[in-house]
Structure 1
Amino acid sequence: MSTATSSAISVMRHHRSIRKFTEQALTDDQRSAILASAQAAPSSSFLQASTVIRISSAELREQVMALCGNQAYVGSAAEFWVFCADFHRHLQWVPEAKTGFAEQLLIGAIDTALMGQNALTAAESLGLGGVFIGAVRNQPHALSDLLQLPKGVIPLFGLCMGHPAQDPEPKPRLPANLVLCENHYPAKFDEAHMQAYDEQVRHYYRTRTGGKKEMSWTGQIGDTLAKEARPFMLEFLQQQGFCIR
């Protein structure tokens, strides 16, 4: 394995979500490198259906943070970028383009997610840290008004980036034999492997919180999927011109 390949794999395998940052700013060169890396991500049919909005105004950042559940790191990170699926730009130059199809939502979401992951991996390779913010979808109507997003654009997630002021352990992932299937989907996943993973996650939370949190992975799933999340989302997507056919 080459040194370059080993280094890239090491960066990805040691990802941690960073929520505490120093006050040190990113340089222009760092921002440019991160954006260039994000844009190098694959794009379905070369549509490049994504737009990134960098929130550089302190006042606007405060307003965005409020819409994201007042998560402090949205305000304290050196950089906060909002990643959007975007078909408005296509219509600007090709007004006769047919949009609004469900498949285009998938294209925009996948393209944008790939960009976001490239951006975070690039940041981490520079010694920076970050965390994705799904809470930009908590109040999408208000956020879209605040960022002046036209029809054909939807905010998918935010990304905090900066110099880490903490060093958390990586969160344990599902074992490979519960993720990688050979040739077909299994009739049932292995119960013993799942139980072992549940205990691994319990130990992680127990250690991370000093015994204040006892939660297995399946327990967390039960809590998260006990009710519909963001029930207003379909209406918002359709208002923005997505999933209307």
Structure 2
Amino acid sequence: MNSTISQLQQHRSIRKYKSDPLTDEQLKTIIQSAQSAPTSSNMQAYSVIAVTNPGTKSELAKLAANQSYIEECPVFLVWCADLHRLQHAASAVDDVQIPNTTEIFIIATVDAALAAQNATLAAESLGLGAVYIGGIRDNIRKVSDLLRLPKLVYPVFGMCVGYPDQEPSYRPRLPLETILHREHYSTDSYDEGIEQYNWSLQAFMATRVGGNRDTNWSKEVAKRLKSKKRDDVTQFLHDQGFELK
């Protein structure tokens, strides 16, 4: 196992940070690494907003289900799918509009996710830690107003970055056989694999929460799928100019 694979497989979500700030050079290195990620047709359809102002981080924490580590981390990065810059660049040479297609929306969203993952790996290689924050979509309109996002831009997720002040245990993953399909999609391993994972995750959760929570992966998935959480996102995207067809 080489050092890159070792780093990938040792990833942990960090939710407690030391007060030490990141240097501007560290931040630039992380974002430059993000820019080296694959991007569809070189469109680079994403932007990232680095938030260090304590007041802004505090407001973002409140909007994202009061996740205190947003306020505590030295840098909070908001990763945005960005078609606004493409429109700006194209309009300089031709009278063209961003197409209202699901495909271009997917391209921008995937670009943002790929860049963010590169940033995570870069941060971890510098001795930093990170955690993704999908909770910024809980109040997606207010987050966008706070960050002054123009039309054709939406916040995909946030990311806390800083020096870890904890050593969390590794959260187990599904068995490889339930993820890796060979030649064609198959559900043959699902019953056994999911049952096995339910047991391992239940044991992990019992340890993590002091044995007070009896749950497993199937229960957590069912709970999430029944939730009406973030049901305003579609209307927000439409208002931002993402009229998907």
Q: TM-score range by the shorter chain?
A: over 0.9
Indicate the SS of the match to 2:226. Answer: coil
Q: Deviations over 1:154-197 (max 9, x none)?
A: 00100001011110111101110000001111144342222111
Out of 56, 81, 85, which is 1:85 matched to? Answer: 81
Question: Is the Cα contact below 8 Å between 2:136 and 2:158 reproduced in 1?
Answer: yes
| Aligned match of 2:61 | 65
TM-score (norm: length of structure 1): 0.94
Shift in Å, 1:100: 2.4
Indicate the SS of the match to 1:228. Answer: coil
Indicate the SS of the match to 1:65. Answer: helix
Q: For 1:207, give the aligned amino acid.
A: T
| Aligned match of 2:100 | 100
Shift in Å, 1:56: 2.1
Q: For 1:76, give the aligned amino acid.
A: E
How many residues align? The count is 241
Q: Deviations over 1:40-98 (max 9, x none)?
A: 10001111000000112222111111111111000000110100000111111223233
Question: Is the Cα contact below 8 Å between 2:34 and 2:116 reproduced in 1?
Answer: yes
Question: Is the Cα contact below 8 Å between 1:44 and 1:107 reproduced in 2?
Answer: yes
- How large is the Cα RMSD of the aligned pairs? 1.3
Tell me whether 1:228 sits opposite 2:224 in the alignment. Answer: no
Q: For 1:10, give the aligned amino acid.
A: S
Question: Is the Cα contact below 8 Å between 2:83 and 2:98 reproduced in 1?
Answer: no
Higher mean alpha-carbon deviation, 171-180 vs 96-105, is at: 96-105
| Aligned match of 1:54 | 50
The 1-side partners of 2:244 and 2:185 are apart by 32
Indicate the SS of the match to 1:218. Answer: helix
Indicate the SS of the match to 1:120. Answer: helix
5+ long unaligned stretches in structure 2: none
5+ long unaligned stretches in structure 1: none
The 1-side partners of 2:97 and 2:67 are apart by 39
The 1-side partners of 2:192 and 2:102 are apart by 38
Q: For 1:17, give the aligned amino acid.
A: S
**Superposition misfits of 4+ residues, deviation over 6 angstroms:** none
| Aligned match of 1:217 | 217
The 2-side partners of 1:93 and 1:62 are apart by 34
The 2-side partners of 1:60 and 1:123 are apart by 22
Q: For 1:118, give the aligned amino acid.
A: N
The 2-side partners of 1:93 and 1:222 are apart by 44
How much identity, in percent, do the aligned residues show? 39
Shift in Å, 1:99: 2.8
Shift in Å, 1:140: 1.1
Cα distance change, pair 60–236 in 1 and its aligned pair in 2 (3 A): same
Shift in Å, 1:229: 3.0
The 2-side partners of 1:88 and 1:71 are apart by 29
| Aligned match of 2:70 | 74
Tell me whether 1:33 sits opposite 2:29 in the alignment. Answer: yes
